[in-house]
């Protein structure tokens, strides 16, 4: 008994049968012709069918078939009457799929044969002329490139939206002081705006990687046929142009066996997911009771079934968790492709699900993070309090010793370490040490040193290009809007 795809209802005009196994055999015989006399085993049909997931390619498949049909007519390979029938039939099929009335059949394996089979039901024998001068091998490569290209454009728009809300928050918090960390230890004062702009840069690089992938994939495989090209006088430049590609691919063997574009897409998605995960982790830490740096609203948090006080940052945790899923999709496809000889092998059917799952996951993660960044509220008082912990202005003290007293930095570093140890032993901050205590470590220290030991003075002084000074942040906010939005 064949496995039926029940995602869509039966289309009007489909031939009815009370015997699904006979229907499967009839469908198979229509496609494979005289070479096979029996229908595939039901298990073979199950493992071979990809229609359950590759039906997502229907719009790209119809677009590619439309361009191919028009080219065949223009080249005199297909007569105008048959071409018009095919084009009208394809248009009808697209409407059926969009309206949910198309009957996807496992017995027809994939989206390509499902559409071709339905076209035959609508227009008859001329449907078979559409496959002249092409193969499912170049057809699926073309469809897949078109789908990934469309998806890259959507991801770019989504990342641009995420950058926009990050930039807005950075501008609002250009002077909001917070501790900067290394090794998750308080290091130096920074501003929250400066911290957020770091992620703007990361996502800018992510967008660039996706665009590089898009540029490299934008060559059209259609017309490469099974692996060796075709003897028909086709015009591959015409179909490439019609489908928005820069040019046709140069080698027919490479055209049908190449999945570099899919690997690059998932590589870019994986790196983006890592950046989203890092930001998600920071939000989780910031929103913890122990840090209390920030707060998310009810829209992006959940409660506990047993602990009524809990506000769990589930959205951020799911972004962090889904990064593993996206990286897993990349590893899955790398593993599929690593040992395949030229040209096409059925293993390559396994390329779709990692792409579909990875693209869906990265889209959800970007949308969730955009919502969280727009929603987040920083606890300005707590951030300021935390900045004053951990001797975060110790580097400013060392710099003062170099700049004012002319000490070598390594000696200044040692003196500052002695002063930190002294303050730590007495449970005080650096600025709470007396001048006499400081001079006990380095006699030339003057009371001017206290002018640089505050967090505000520290961040204000960091005016080097790319530094955290509030005026820098505002300048970089403007620059980021010009570069990315």
Contact 269, 330 (CB under 8 A): yes
Angle ∠(411,412,417) on CA atoms, nearest 5: 100
> 200-210 as b/e, with b when 16 or more CB fall inside 10 Å?
bbbbbebbebb
Asked if residue 308 has pLDDT above 70, the reply is no
Of the candidates 372, 395, 425, 414, the one whose C-alpha atom is nearest the C-alpha of residue 188 is: 395
Asked if residue 281 has pLDDT above 60, the reply is yes
Could you tell me whether strands 377-378 and 219-220 are parallel, antiparallel, or unpaired per DSSP bridges?
A: unpaired
Q: How far apart are CA 37 and CA 201, in angstroms?
A: 60
Average pLDDT over residues 377-389: 95
Peptide bond into 343 cis (omega under 30): yes
Percent of residues, the chain, with pLDDT higher than 70: 90
pLDDT given at position 40: 65
Averaged pLDDT score across all residues of the chain: 91
Whether 183 is a known active-site residue: answer yes
Task: Report residue 219: phi and psi, to 5°.
Answer: -125, 140
Burial of 292 (0-12, 13-18, 19+ CB in 10 A): middle
Q: How far apart are CA 351 and CA 336, in angstroms?
A: 8
Q: How far apart are CA 91 and CA 289, in angstroms?
A: 58
Contact 453, 393 (CB under 8 A): yes
- Cα 328 from chain centroid (whole Å): 13
Q: What are 78-98's pLDDT values in tens digits?
A: 999 999 999 999 999 999 999
Residue 312 β-bridge partners? 302
Average pLDDT over residues 285-306: 87
Catalytic residue, candidates 37, 183, 231, 464: 183
Asked if residue 45 has pLDDT above 90, the reply is no
Asked if residue 11 has pLDDT above 50, the reply is no
Catalytic residue, candidates 10, 208, 304, 475: 304
pLDDT given at position 458: 94
Q: What are 352-382's pLDDT values in tens digits?
A: 999 999 999 999 999 999 999 999 999 999 9
Asked if residue 16 has pLDDT above 50, the reply is no
pLDDT given at position 94: 98
Q: What are 447-485's pLDDT values in tens digits?
A: 999 999 999 999 999 999 999 999 999 999 999 999 999
Contact 155, 363 (CB under 8 A): yes
Asked if residue 29 has pLDDT above 60, the reply is no
Q: How far apart are CA 239 and CA 371, in angstroms?
A: 40
Whether 65 is a known active-site residue: answer no
- pLDDT band with cut points at 50, 70 and 90 for residue 312: confident
pLDDT given at position 2: 37
pLDDT given at position 6: 32
């Amino acid at each position: 008994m064949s496995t039926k795809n029940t995602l869509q209802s039966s289309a009007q005009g489909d031939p009815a049968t009370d015997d699904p196994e006979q229907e499967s055999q009839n469908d198979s015989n229509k496609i494979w012709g005289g070479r096979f006399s029996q229908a595939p085993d039901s298990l073979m049909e199950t493992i071979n069918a990809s229609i359950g997931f590759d039906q997502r390619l229907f719009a790209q498949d119809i677009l590619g078939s439309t361009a191919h049909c028009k080219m065949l007519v223009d080249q005199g390979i297909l007569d105008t009457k048959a071409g018009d029938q095919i084009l009208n039939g394809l248009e009808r099929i697209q409407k059926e799929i969009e309206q949910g009335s198309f009957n996807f059949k496992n017995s027809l394996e994939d989206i390509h044969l499902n559409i071709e089979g339905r076209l035959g039901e609508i227009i008859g024998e001329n449907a078979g002329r559409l496959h002249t001068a092409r193969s499912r091998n170049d057809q699926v490569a073309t469809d897949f490139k078109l789908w990934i290209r469309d998806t890259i454009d959507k991801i770019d728009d989504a990342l641009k939206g995420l950058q926009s809300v990050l930039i807005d928050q950075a501008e609002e918090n250009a002077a909001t002081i917070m501790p900067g960390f290394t090794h998750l230890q308080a290091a130096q004062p920074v501003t929250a705006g400066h911290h957020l702009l770091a992620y703007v840069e990361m996502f800018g690089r992510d967008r660039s990687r996706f665009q590089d992938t898009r540029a490299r994939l934008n060559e059209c495989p259609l017309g490469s046929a099974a692996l060796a090209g075709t003897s028909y006088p086709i015009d591959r430049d015409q179909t490439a142009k019609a489908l928005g590609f820069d040019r046709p691919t140069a080698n027919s063997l490479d055209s049908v066996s190449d999945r570099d574009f899919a690997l690059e897409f998932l590589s870019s998605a994986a790196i983006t997911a890592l950046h989203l995960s890092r930001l998600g982790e920071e939000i989780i830490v910031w929103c913890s009771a122990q840090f209390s740096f920030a707060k998310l609203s009810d829209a992006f948090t959940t409660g506990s079934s047993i602990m009524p006080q809990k506000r769990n940052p589930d959205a951020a945790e799911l972004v962090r968790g889904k990064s593993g899923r996206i990286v897993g999709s990349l590893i899955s496809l790398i593993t599929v492709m690593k040992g395949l000889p030229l040209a096409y092998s059925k293993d390559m059917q396994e390329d779709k699900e990692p792409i579909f799952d990875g693209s869906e996951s990265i889209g959800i993660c970007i949308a969730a993070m955009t919502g969280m960044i727009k929603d987040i509220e920083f606890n300005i008082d707590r951030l300021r309090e935390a900045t004053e912990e951990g001797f975060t202005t110790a580097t400013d003290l060392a710099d003062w010793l170099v700049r004012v007293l002319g000490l070598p930095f390594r000696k200044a570093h040692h003196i500052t370490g002695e002063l930190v140890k002294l303050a730590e032993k007495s449970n005080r901050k650096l600025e709470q040490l007396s001048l006499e205590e400081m001079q006990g470590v380095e006699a030339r220290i003057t009371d001017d040193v206290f002018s640089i030991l505050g967090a505000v003075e520290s961040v204000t002084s960091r005016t080097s290009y790319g530094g955290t000074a509030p005026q820098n942040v505002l300048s970089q906010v403007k620059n980021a809007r010009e570069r990315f939005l």
